[in-house]
């Protein structure tokens, strides 16, 4: 079954065609992230207008290489996300489905991040699994019992982990999106260290690390970094990025391992933009190795928002055909 997936939840516009949930036939995207460098975060109105600009050229390019008639269903991420951006993808998918008389499949964007791990020619996750979704809008731990049964265990009480990266980047004068910039500075610091030579200097908090639940909070650490930078001229930004990453990732790792233990899961699935981070990948991989859990990360290109992951998710829920009066939902949950 060949599914075309559209992703337009935030500042990426992406169209992917995937066969049987795994084989990528086409995947192209456009982003308006460069427009937000000066703001330090996405401006929803601008992001929505850019979605309008990008969607038709992306579809045109997709169909110049692939026969439209070979598509069996159209899938779209209908939430959560920015409502103006979401509407562009949802209305486009509805129109394609209506005129080509093919089913429409609505996909939860967060589930899409889970299924990004099926877009590989290698091993795929075995359910039940724990999923850790870490993106610009979300930080969630989920028990994925089966393709139809996602149980939300906990998430952030305030800022998402990606948001914390973006804010810290902004405080340090780095451009949006902040995650890759913070990682780059942290790497410069870690490359300059001898093995095991690290001693923390800035006393950053490890928010909620011992709370023994699956909730997170990242707004305090952002404020901590803000005050630290404001009150101290001697800050080394590379070291600060390294210590910030360590705090945040230690918390994510501890709660993820707790969830794996509590649900006796032998498989971890990680997804979302922050899962592109190499420090996080190594830390989580090492911990999973120790407790004999198989750990999956998407290819970096599919860590961030993309249409292929939406097409993959749709394949695994292809019996859920959506009505053509489908609405976008900015606050959709697991």
Site string for ligand KG4, 274-293 (x = CB under 6 A): x-xx----------------
Site string for ligand KG4, 65-104 (x = CB under 6 A): ----------------------------------------
d(CA 2, CA 25): 9
d(CA 18, CA 4): 7
Residue 251: which of ligand KG4, Zn ion, none does it interact with, CB under 5 to 8 A by kind?
none
Residue 165: which of ligand KG4, Zn ion, none does it interact with, CB under 5 to 8 A by kind?
ligand KG4
Which region, judged by CB under 5 A, interacts with Zn ion, from 52-60, 91-99, 127-135, 251-259? 127-135
Neighbours of 300 (CB within 10 A): 13
C-beta of 29 vs 243, nearer to Zn ion: 29
Q: In what order do the strands lie in the sheet with 2-7?
A: 23-31, 12-19, 2-7, 73-79, 104-108
Helix/strand/coil (H/E/C) assignment for every residue in 170-222 = HHCCCCCCHHHHHHHHHHHHHHHCCCCCCCCCCCCCCCCCCCCCCCECCHHHH
Residue 155: which of ligand KG4, Zn ion, none does it interact with, CB under 5 to 8 A by kind?
none
Q: How far is the CB of 303 from Zn ion (least distance, A)?
A: 9
Pick the binder of Zn ion from 135, 139, 303, 322 (CB under 5 A): 135
Residues 176 to 195 in contact with ligand KG4, rule: CB under 6 A: 177-180, 183
**Backbone dihedral region for residue 14 (phi beyond 0: left; psi -120 to 50: alpha; all else: beta):** beta
Q: In what order do the strands lie in the sheet with 139-146?
A: 149-155, 139-146, 129-134, 267-271, 294-296
Alpha carbon 241 to chain centroid distance?
20
Residue 7: which of Zn ion, ligand KG4, none does it interact with, CB under 5 to 8 A by kind?
none
Give me the phi and psi of 239, to 5 degrees please: -65, -40
Pick the binder of Zn ion from 159, 221, 305, 311 (CB under 5 A): 305
C-beta of 66 vs 279, nearer to ligand KG4: 279
Give the residues lining the site for Zn ion (CB under 5 A).
Answer: 135, 305
Binding residues for ligand KG4 (CB under 6 A): 10, 135-137, 162, 165-166, 177-180, 183, 272-274, 276-277, 304-305
């Amino acid at each position: 079954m060949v599914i075309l997936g559209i992703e337009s939840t935030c500042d990426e516009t992406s169209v992917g065609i995937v066969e049987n949930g795994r084989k990528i036939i086409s995947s192209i995207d456009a982003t308006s992230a460069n427009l937000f460098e000066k703001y330090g975060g996405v401006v929803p109105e601008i992001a929505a207008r850019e979605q309008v600009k990008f969607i038709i050229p992306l579809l045109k390019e997709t169909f110049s290489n692939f026969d439209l008639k070979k598509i069996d269903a159209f899938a779209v991420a209908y939430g959560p996300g920015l409502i103006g951006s979401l509407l562009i993808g949802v209305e486009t998918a509805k129109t394609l489905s209506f005129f080509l008389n093919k089913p429409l499949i609505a996909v939860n964007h967060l589930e899409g991040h889970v299924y990004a791990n099926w877009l590989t020619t290698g091993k795929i996750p075995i359910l039940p699994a724990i999923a850790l979704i870490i993106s610009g809008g979300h930080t969630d731990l989920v028990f994925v019992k089966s393709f139809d049964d996602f149980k939300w265990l906990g998430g952030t009480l305030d800022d998402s982990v990606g948001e914390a990266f973006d804010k810290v980047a902004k405080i340090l004068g780095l451009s949006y999106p902040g995650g890759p910039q913070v990682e780059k500075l942290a790497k410069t610091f870690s490359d300059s260290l001898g093995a095991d030579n690290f001693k923390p200097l800035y006393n950053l908090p490890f928010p909620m690390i011992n709370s023994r639940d699956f909730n997170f909070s990242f707004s305090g650490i952002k404020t901590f970094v803000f005050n630290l930078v404001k009150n101290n001229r001697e800050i080394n930004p590379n070291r600060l990025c390294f210590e910030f990453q360590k705090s945040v990732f230690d918390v994510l790792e501890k709660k993820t391992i707790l969830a794996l233990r509590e649900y006796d899961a032998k498989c971890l699935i990680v997804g979302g933009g922050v899962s592109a981070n190499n420090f996080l990948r190594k830390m989580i991989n090492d911990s999973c190795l120790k407790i004999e859990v198989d750990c999956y990360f998407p290819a970096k290109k599919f860590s961030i928002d993309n249409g292929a992951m939406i097409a993959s998710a749709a394949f695994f829920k292809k019996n859920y055909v959506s009505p053509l009066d489908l609405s976008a939902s900015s606050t959709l949950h697991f």
